[in-house]
C-alpha cells in the first residue's frame, strides 16, 4: 500500500477541522509544515493544507496530493500547537487560525531566505509577571517614552543574548513606531509587523522571520510571528479595544499571549491601569507583581459642578507657560446629541441610531450617517444641541485664551507641529499626537460621560482612556479631572488601581459575571438554542440571557474544555440555516465576547 500524509485543511468550516489522509506520490518526500494542494470531494476547486506527518499506510487515503505549494515548511510545529489550542478553546476551525498565522503563497514575490544559523537557546527561568506602570515617562536619548518601553526592550535584549526570540504586542501602529524609535535609541535591532501591510509585504516579512531568532514588535497579528526559540511574550495596554478580535474567533491578546508562551516562555504585561482579567490572575497566584520604581503623577480632581471650573482654568493658565496642554474629552464633534427645539424630544434616526452634531449646524445619525432635517414627532426643523463635544470645546477655550493656539485632534486628523508653549490640543481617546518632550499638563473633562456608558466595563474603560493620556505627559506635569468626585477621584489620585480592580472583581464574583467566569454567546434557531441550553444546563452552566435567536451562558474557567467540546459536538451536528444574506452556520458560537455585556 502506498505511503500517505496527514493534512490539516485550510478552511474555516468546523466540519473540515480534522486531519485528512492523502496518498503521497512516488519519490516525493514531505516534511511537517509544508503547504500542499489536493482535490477534495466533488468540488472542482482544489484545496490547500499543511502536512502534519507521513503515514506508512492508510485505509482512508483515496486521493493523491496534486502539488507541493511551498517547498519550504511554513508552519512551525509550535505555531501549529498554538493555533490548535486556540481553536479548541474558542470552538472554531483550525483553518481559521492558520489563515491569520500564515500568509497566502505568492509565487511571483521573490523572498530572500537567509541561512538559518540559530545557536542553541540558553536555559531561562520562566516567569509570568505584570507591572502597574505609574504613567510617568522616562527619558531615552533626549525623548520621553512610557517606562514600560524601557522594561520591554531591556527584557527582550536579555532574551536575545540567550539566543531566544521575543514577541511584543501593542495596540496601535503608532505604539509600534514609538517602541521602534525607543529601540533605535537603545541600540537594539527589532523587526516590525505592522497592520494594513500589502499582501506582498506581509509575505516578505513572514519569510524574513521564519525560523529566526528575532525581537518582533507588532500589533495583534504579531502573536503568530513564526520566530524560533521563543523566550518572552510581552503585551502593553491589555484592555485596549484594538487587542480584541471583534468577529470570529473572538480572541483577546491577553489570552493568546498566555497560550503562546505556554510553559516554556516568559510572559510580561504592563499598563498604567489594572484590568480585572489580570487582577484575577494575580489573585490566584498565576501572575507575579513587579513594583514600579517611581511615584505616580500629581493628580487632582474636583466635585461635579461647572464643566470648566476654577481649578481647570488655573491649570490651563499655569501650564501653557511651560509647554503644550492636552485636554481630553470622550466625544468628538460639536454636540453628542440633539433635541427638538419645539417638543423637546431627543432625536433618533429611522434606523434606530441617535442624532448628533458632527459639524456646526449639521445634524446626522451616528449609525448610518444620514443627514437629519426634521423632528420625527412634530416635524419641526430646528434642533437644540446636547452635551458639548470636542468641536464646541475648541471654540470655548479659543475665546477664553485668545493668545493660545487651539487645535483639535481626532482619529481622522492629528495636528502636526505640537510641542511648543501656548498650544492647547483638544483630543478624544487615542487621538492625541505624541510630543518628544511631553505635554505640560492634562485636563480631563466630562468624566461622567465615560462612567455612564451602558457597559459593565464603563469604569475600567474610563480609567484606561485617562491613564493612557497620562502617558503622554512630561514627568513634572499635573493632571486635573474636572467634575469627577471623590468616589473615584480619591483612589485614582493615590494610584490605587489594584484596589479598584480587586473591588470590581469581587462584585463580578458575587454576580457570577465575567471576568470572574467565562461566557459564551450562541446564535441560532429556537430549537437549536433549546438543545444547547439543555446540554449546557446538564454540566452546570448558568443562563445569563436568552431570546428567540440568541442566548448567553456563563461558566467557570475550569469547565472551559468541557463546554468547548459539547458546543463543538452540537455545532457539527447542526445544519446550516437559510438567512436573508444566504446560508449561515446552524449554530454561531462566540466565546468570551464581552461586547454583549
Neighbours of 511 (CB within 10 A): 13
pLDDT confidence of residue 584: 63
Which has the closest alpha carbon to 98: 121, 75, 117, 115?
75
**What dihedral do alpha carbons 531, 534, 540, 542 form, nearest 10°?**
80
Q: CATH says 128-290 is which class?
A: alpha beta
User: CA–CA separation, 160 vs 406, rounded Å?
Assistant: 45
Of 312, 325, 329, 327, nearest to 420 (Cα)? 325
Rounded to whole angstroms, the Cα distance separating 91 from 561 reads 10
C-alpha–C-alpha distance, residues 58 and 435, integer Å = 63
Looking at residue 109, what is its pLDDT? 85
For residue 162, what is the DSSP state?
Answer: T
Which residue in 533, 500, 540 sits closest to 518, CA to CA?
540
CA-based nearest residue to 425, from 319, 334, 273: 319
Cα distances (Å, whole numbers) of residue 442 to 427, 461, 474, 484, 551 = 11, 18, 10, 14, 43
SS3 347: coil
Q: How far is CA 300 from the centre of its chain?
A: 30
What integer pLDDT is reported at residue 416 of this predicted model? 85
- CATH 3.40.1440.60 residue window(s) in the chain: 4-75
CATH superfamily of 517-596: ACT domain (3.30.70.260)
> What does the alpha-carbon distance between residue 77 and residue 68 come to, in Å, rounded to a whole number?
19
For CATH 3.40.50.300, list the domain ranges present in the chain.
Answer: 128-290, 298-333+388-494
- Distance, in Å, from the CA atom of 111 to the CA atom of 472, rounded to the nearest integer, reads 39
The DSSP-derived string for 372-398 is: P-S-TTT----EEE-SB-HHHHHHHHH
Q: Please give the pLDDT value at position 569.
A: 93
The HSE-up count of residue 318 (CA atoms within 13 Å, CB side) is: 14
Q: Rounded to 5 degrees, what angle do the CA atoms 418, 424, 429 make?
A: 85
Asked if 485 and 309 touch (Cβ cutoff 8 Å), the reply is: no
Would you state the pLDDT for residue 579? 53
Instruction: Return the axis-axis angle of helices 497-511 and 486-493, rounded to nearest 10°.
Output: 130
Contact of 102 with 262, CB cutoff 8 Å? no
Residue 492 dihedral angles phi and psi, to the nearest 5°: -70, -40
Report which secondary-structure segment, H or E, holds 218. strand 215-218
CATH number for the domain whose boundaries are 298-333+388-494 = 3.40.50.300
Cα–Cα separations (whole angstroms), residue 332 to 328, 329, 361, 412: 10, 8, 15, 11
Residues 6+ apart with CB under 8 A from 15: 572
Helices (H), 297-379: 310-320
> What count of Cα atoms within 13 Å lies in the side-chain half-sphere of residue 512?
10
Domain with CATH 3.30.70.260 in the chain: 517-596
Q: Could you read off the pLDDT tens digit of each residue along the chain, which spans 597 residues?
A: 578 899 999 999 999 999 999 988 877 889 999 999 999 877 778 899 999 998 887 777 778 899 999 889 999 999 999 999 999 999 999 999 999 999 998 888 888 776 666 678 899 999 999 999 999 999 999 999 999 999 999 999 999 999 999 999 999 999 999 999 999 999 999 999 988 788 899 999 999 999 999 999 999 999 999 999 999 999 999 999 999 998 889 999 999 999 999 999 999 999 999 999 999 999 999 999 998 888 899 999 999 988 889 999 999 999 999 999 999 999 888 887 888 988 888 898 888 888 888 887 888 898 888 999 899 888 898 998 887 778 888 888 889 899 899 999 987 788 888 989 999 999 999 999 999 899 999 999 999 989 988 788 899 999 999 999 999 999 999 999 999 999 999 999 999 999 999 999 999 999 999 999 999 999 988 889 999 999 999 999 999 988 888 999 999 999 999 999 999 999 998 876 555 555 566 889 999 987 766
Strand ranges, E, within 345-470 = 355-359, 362-365, 383-385, 405-409, 423-427, 439-444
Q: Tell me the Ramachandran region of residue 78: left when phi exceeds 0, alpha when psi lies from -120 to 50, beta otherwise.
A: alpha
Phi-psi region of 98 (alpha: psi -120 to 50; beta: other; left: phi over 0): alpha
Cα–Cα distances in angstroms (integers) from residue 549 to residues 248, 524, 526, 545, in the given order: 18, 5, 6, 11
4-75 domain in CATH 3.40.30.10?
Answer: no
488/491 Cα distance (integer angstroms): 6
Give the strands of the sheet with 19-23, arranged side by side: 19-23, 4-9, 47-55, 35-38, 67-68
Task: List CB contacts of 371: < 8 A, sequence separation 6 or more.
Answer: 362, 363, 364
* Residue 213 C-alpha from the chain's centroid: 25
Q: Which residues contact 43 (CB under 8 A, 6 or more apart)?
A: none
Amino acid at each position: 500500500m502506498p505511503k500517505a500524509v496527514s493534512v490539516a485543511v485550510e478552511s474555516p468550516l468546523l466540519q473540515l477541522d480534522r486531519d485528512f489522509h492523502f496518498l503521497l506520490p512516488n519519490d516525493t518526500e514531505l516534511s511537517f509544515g509544508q503547504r500542499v494542494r489536493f482535490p477534495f470531494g466533488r468540488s472542482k476547486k482544489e484545496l490547500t493544507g499543511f502536512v502534519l506527518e507521513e503515514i506508512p499506510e492508510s485505509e482512508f487515503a483515496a486521493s493523491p496530493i496534486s502539488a507541493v505549494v511551498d517547498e519550504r515548511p511554513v508552519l512551525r510545529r509550535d505555531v501549529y500547537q498554538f493555533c490548535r489550542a486556540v481553536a479548541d478553546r474558542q470552538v472554531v476551525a483550525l483553518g481559521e487560525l492558520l489563515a491569520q498565522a500564515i500568509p497566502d503563497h505568492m509565487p511571483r514575490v521573490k523572498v530572500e531566505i537567509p541561512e538559518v544559523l540559530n545557536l542553541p537557546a540558553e536555559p531561562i527561568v520562566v516567569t509570568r509577571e505584570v507591572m502597574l506602570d505609574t504613567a510617568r515617562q522616562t527619558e531615552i536619548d533626549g525623548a520621553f517614552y512610557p517606562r514600560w518601553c524601557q522594561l520591554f526592550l531591556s527584557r527582550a535584549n536579555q532574551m536575545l543574548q540567550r539566543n531566544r526570540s521575543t514577541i511584543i504586542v501593542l495596540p496601535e501602529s503608532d505604539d509600534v513606531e514609538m517602541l521602534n524609535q525607543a529601540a533605535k535609541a537603545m541600540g537594539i535591532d527589532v523587526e516590525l509587523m505592522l497592520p494594513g501591510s500589502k499582501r506582498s509585504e506581509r509575505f516578505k516579512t513572514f519569510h524574513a522571520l521564519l525560523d529566526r531568532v528575532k525581537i518582533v514588535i507588532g500589533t495583534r497579528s504579531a502573536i503568530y510571528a513564526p520566530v524560533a526559540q521563543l523566550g518572552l511574550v510581552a503585551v502593553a495596554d491589555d484592555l485596549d479595544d484594538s487587542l480584541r478580535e471583534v468577529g470570529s474567533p473572538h480572541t483577546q491578546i491577553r489570552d493568546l499571549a498566555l497560550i503562546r508562551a505556554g510553559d516554556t516562555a516568559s510572559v510580561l504585561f504592563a499598563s498604567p491601569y489594572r484590568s480585572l482579567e489580570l487582577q484575577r490572575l494575580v489573585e490566584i497566584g498565576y501572575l507575579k507583581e513587579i513594583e514600579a520604581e517611581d511615584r505616580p503623577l500629581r493628580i487632582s480632581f474636583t466635585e461635579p459642578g461647572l464643566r470648566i471650573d476654577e481649578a481647570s482654568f488655573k491649570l490651563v493658565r499655569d501650564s501653557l507657560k511651560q509647554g503644550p496642554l492636552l485636554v481630553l474629552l470622550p466625544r468628538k464633534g460639536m454636540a453628542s446629541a440633539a433635541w427638538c427645539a419645539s417638543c423637546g424630544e431627543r432625536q433618533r434616526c429611522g434606523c434606530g441610531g441617535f442624532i448628533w452634531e458632527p459639524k456646526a449646524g449639521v445634524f446626522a445619525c451616528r449609525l448610518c450617517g444620514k443627514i437629519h432635517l426634521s423632528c420625527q414627532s412634530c416635524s419641526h426643523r430646528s434642533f437644540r444641541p446636547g452635551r458639548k463635544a470636542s468641536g464646541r470645546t475648541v471654540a470655548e477655550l479659543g475665546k477664553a485664551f485668545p493668545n493660545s493656539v487651539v487645535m483639535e485632534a481626532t482619529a481622522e486628523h492629528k495636528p502636526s507641529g505640537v510641542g511648543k508653549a501656548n498650544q492647547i490640543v483638544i483630543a478624544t481617546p487615542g487621538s492625541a499626537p505624541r510630543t518628544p518632550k511631553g505635554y505640560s499638563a492634562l485636563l480631563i473633562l466630562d468624566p461622567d460621560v465615560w462612567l455612564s456608558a451602558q457597559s459593565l466595563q464603563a469604569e475600567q474603560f474610563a480609567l484606561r482612556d485617562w491613564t493612557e493620556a497620562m502617558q503622554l505627559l512630561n514627568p513634572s506635569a499635573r493632571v486635573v479631572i474636572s467634575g469627577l468626585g471623590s468616589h473615584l477621584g480619591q483612589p485614582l489620585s493615590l494610584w490605587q488601581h489594584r484596589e479598584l480592580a480587586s473591588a470590581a472583581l469581587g462584585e463580578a464574583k458575587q454576580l457570577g459575571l465575567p471576568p470572574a467566569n467565562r461566557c459564551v454567546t450562541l446564535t441560532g434557531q429556537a430549537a437549536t438554542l433549546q438543545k444547547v441550553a439543555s446540554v449546557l444546563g446538564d454540566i452546570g452552566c448558568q443562563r445569563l440571557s436568552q431570546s428567540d435567536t440568541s442566548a448567553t451562558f456563563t461558566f467557570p474557567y475550569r469547565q472551559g474544555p468541557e463546554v468547548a467540546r459539547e458546543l463543538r459536538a452540537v455545532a457539527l451536528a447542526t445544519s446550516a440555516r437559510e438567512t436573508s444574506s444566504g446560508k449561515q452556520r446552524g449554530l454561531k458560537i462566540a466565546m468570551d465576547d464581552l461586547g454583549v455585556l
